[in-house]
Every structure is written in C-alpha cells, then in structure tokens.
C-alpha cells in the first residue's frame, strides 16, 4: 500500500478522523468538501492536501493556508514544506531546519532540528540531533535525549527504538520494557507486536506473551482485530488470538469504522469484521475508512467512497450559480 494509505492508517489509529475535510480539484483550482460532498472551501487554491484533526492545509500565492472544518481560514504561513497536524502540531521546514506550528500558523517549536522523522503521538514526537533520535514534548522540551539510531512514534505509552542494531520497546521515560527483539511494528490497543527467532507474536505492554502462538507476520490491532500472516496469506485474529477471518488475502489493512481494505490478486475491496465483502474487489489501492469515507485508487481514478461504495463528489451547482449572478 502507498505512503498516503499509511498516513490515513495512522489517522485511524490515533483518532484523527473526526470531521474530515476532503480535497478536490476543478478547472478553476483546488478546494475542500465534507463527507456529504458539500463544498466548504471554494476551489480557488493552488493546491490542497488531506486534512487531519479537523484542520486542512491548502496553498495559495506561495503561502500555506489553514482551514477549520467549516471552511473558516485559521491562518497563513510561508515555509518550504509543511506536514499534517497531529495533536495540534504540524512539522514545518524553513529550508534549513525543522520545527512545529500551531493551527493558526504560529511557530510553537522553533526550527532547530535536522529531521523530524515522526509526528506527535502520545504527546511526544521524535527528532534528530547529530544523527541521533530522541523525543520532545508538545512544548519542545526534551523528554528523552537523542541517543537512538532510529525510532518510531509512541502509542499506548510505548515506542520502538533501535540502537546498534538492537531493537527495544521503551516507555515514556526512555526505559526499555521489552528487550531481545529482532523487530516490532509497535503497540496498539494494549498489545505489542514482536519478532524473535524469525517469527512474530503478540505480547502485552510489558512483554508477556499473550497467545502462545507464532505467525509469519502480523499487523497492529485496530477495532479489536489484528492482521496475521500464515504462510503466504493474511487473515485476522480477535483479542483472544482466535482466527476469526481465515487467511486468504494477499494483503490486509487496518479496520476503520468497521471495515478493512483487503487485497486478492491485484484488486482491493472492503470486508466487515465477519469477513463478508461489503465493497467488491475493484480498486488498485485503498485506504482505511476515516471520517465516513475511504480514499481509493482505480485504473484511471482517485476518489472517495462511502461505506456503501458510492462515490463522494463535490456539489458545485451552488458555486456555479453564484458565479453567474
């Protein structure tokens, strides 16, 4: 799946889907609509990107513009690059260093970092100083000094770090709570994923094995289900480690709003928590449902669909009539 799909999976996992604004494009420019197709930002922007946490970021005349869910402009800023909002902080790049801004476009953490590899989650973001990774809090205060070779975002009070090719799962104080791990996808819904001796399993937040069984690969829990790979196929287990959706898929995604994108062959469709097909296999790629819609890619299209598979299209008639007056 694409980087964009991964971004939306993060939104689902961190609860950033509320009141989502959807970018769209016309011959006059880019704008935003809600999940009903109602236009909330007129298509007069030079560019528009996915919203997060109810804040959308567009571009106009060389500046980034921030919008609320009702289309109200919150502020503007000029940077080389800006990321999406996570816990009311967005990464910005001034051409030399990285920092963070608030939804109004004001700098809240000055650009002093060479990189910001992961956004805020659990009130911490990972940053790099002299090629070492550490964590800062939302005020920019160092919470865990940079000493890791790589690190992942916090979730459930746990984060995956690597030092000298050794993987640890640490707590918010930076102390290892799970050691001797070859790899980990992280923790979610009170469960951690770990790889030891070439196989994957699930533990609690302190490293205690949960199910007494191993898999060829696993995914994080979402909506009480986790993807597991057995042989060459993927299925899902519940919170008791019981297989509830048989392994028959080539790829599986996170459950969001009761549905998950899964792949058979070269096509993606959506299933429910019982494994029933809700939206037929027809897409080349598909993101999790988030804010009532899912982003999907077809052969010649990229659009949003509702839970019933119908398309979300911008209702432009009102705008066109206003222009004719």
- What's the mean pLDDT in 280-288? 97
The structural domain count of the chain equals 1
Confidence at residue 6, expressed as pLDDT on a 0 to 100 scale: 46
3-state class of 58 per DSSP? strand
Helices vs strands, H then E, count in the chain: 2, 34
> Residue 4 above 50 pLDDT?
no
> Residue 11 above 90 pLDDT?
no
Q: What is the pLDDT of residues 31-42, one digit of tens each?
A: 999 999 999 999
As to burial, measured by CB atoms within 10 angstroms (0-12 exposed, 13-18 middle, 19+ buried), residue 47 is middle
- State the pairing for strand pair 159-163/150-151: antiparallel
In a domain, 215, yes or no: yes
Strand partners, 67: 56, 73
> Residue 321 above 60 pLDDT?
no
Q: What is the pLDDT of residues 291-300, one digit of tens each?
A: 999 999 998 8
> Residue 65 above 60 pLDDT?
yes
Q: In 3D, which of 267, 263, 237 has the Cα closest to residue 252?
A: 263
CB contact set of 224 (below 8 Å; sequence gap of 6+): 189, 238, 239, 255, 273
In a domain, 22, yes or no: no
- What's the mean pLDDT in 39-56? 94
Q: 138 lies in which domain range?
A: 89-324
DSSP per residue over 111-139, as a string? EEESEEEEEEETTEEEEEETTEEEEEETT
Sign of CA dihedral 203, 209, 210, 213: positive
> Residue 255 above 80 pLDDT?
yes
> Residue 18 above 80 pLDDT?
no
Q: First-to-last CA distance in the chain?
A: 45
> Residue 55 above 80 pLDDT?
yes
- What's the mean pLDDT in 260-272? 98
> Residue 245 above 50 pLDDT?
yes
Confidence at residue 180, expressed as pLDDT on a 0 to 100 scale: 86
Residues 234/201, Cβ–Cβ less than 8 Å: no
pTM of the model: 0.89
In a domain, 38, yes or no: no
Helices (H), 53-182: none
CB contact set of 317 (below 8 Å; sequence gap of 6+): none
In a domain, 64, yes or no: no
3-state class of 272 per DSSP? strand
Q: In this predicted model, which residue has the larger pLDDT, 4 or 170?
A: 170
In a domain, 291, yes or no: yes
Number of other residues whose CB lies within 10 A of the CB of residue 242: 9
In a domain, 54, yes or no: no
Give me the phi and psi of 242, to 5 degrees please: -90, 135
Strand partners, 292: none
Q: In this predicted model, which residue has the larger pLDDT, 112 or 5?
A: 112
Band (pLDDT 50/70/90 cuts) for residue 308 is very high
CB contact set of 323 (below 8 Å; sequence gap of 6+): none
Least confident of 6-15, 28-37, 186-195, 205-214: 6-15
In a domain, 30, yes or no: no
CATH value at residue 104: 2.140.10.30
Residues 211/241, Cβ–Cβ less than 8 Å: yes
In a domain, 17, yes or no: no
């Amino acid at each position: 799946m694409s980087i964009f799909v991964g971004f939306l999976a993060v939104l689902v996992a961190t609860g950033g889907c509320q009141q989502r604004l959807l970018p769209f494009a016309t011959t006059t420019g880019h704008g935003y609509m809600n999940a009903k197709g109602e236009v909330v930002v007129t298509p007069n922007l030079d560019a528009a990107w996915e919203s997060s946490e109810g804040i959308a970021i567009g571009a106009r005349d060389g500046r980034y513009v921030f919008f609320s869910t009702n289309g109200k402009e919150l502020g503007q800023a000029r940077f080389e690059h800006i990321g999406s909002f996570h816990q009311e902080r967005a990464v910005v790049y001034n051409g030399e260093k990285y920092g963070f801004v608030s939804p109004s476009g004001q700098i809240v953490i000055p650009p002093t970092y060479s990189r910001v590899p992961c956004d805020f989650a659990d009130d911490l973001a990972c940053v790099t100083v002299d090629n070492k990774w550490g964590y800062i809090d939302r005020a920019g205060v160092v919470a865990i000094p940079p000493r890791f070779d790589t690190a992942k975002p916090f979730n459930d009070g746990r984060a995956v770090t690597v030092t000298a090719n050794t993987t640890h799962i640490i707590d918010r104080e930076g102390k290892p709570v799970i050691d001797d791990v070859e790899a980990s996808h992280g923790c979610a819904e009170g469960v951690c994923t770990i790889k030891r001796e070439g196989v994957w399993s699930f533990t609690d937040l302190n490293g205690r094995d949960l199910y007494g069984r191993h898999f060829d690969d696993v995914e994080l829990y979402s909506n009480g289900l986790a993807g597991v790979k057995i042989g060459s196929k993927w299925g899902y287990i519940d919170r008791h480690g019981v297989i509830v959706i048989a392994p028959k898929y080539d790829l599986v995604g996170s459950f969001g709003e009761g549905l998950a994108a899964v792949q058979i062959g070269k096509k993606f469709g959506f299933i429910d928590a019982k494994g029933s097909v809700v939206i037929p296999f027809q897409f080349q790629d598909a993101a999790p449902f988030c804010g009532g819609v899912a982003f999907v890619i077809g052969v010649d299209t990229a659009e949003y669909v509702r839970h019933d598979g119908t398309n979300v299209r911008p209702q432009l008639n009102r705008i066109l009539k206003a222009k004719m007056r």
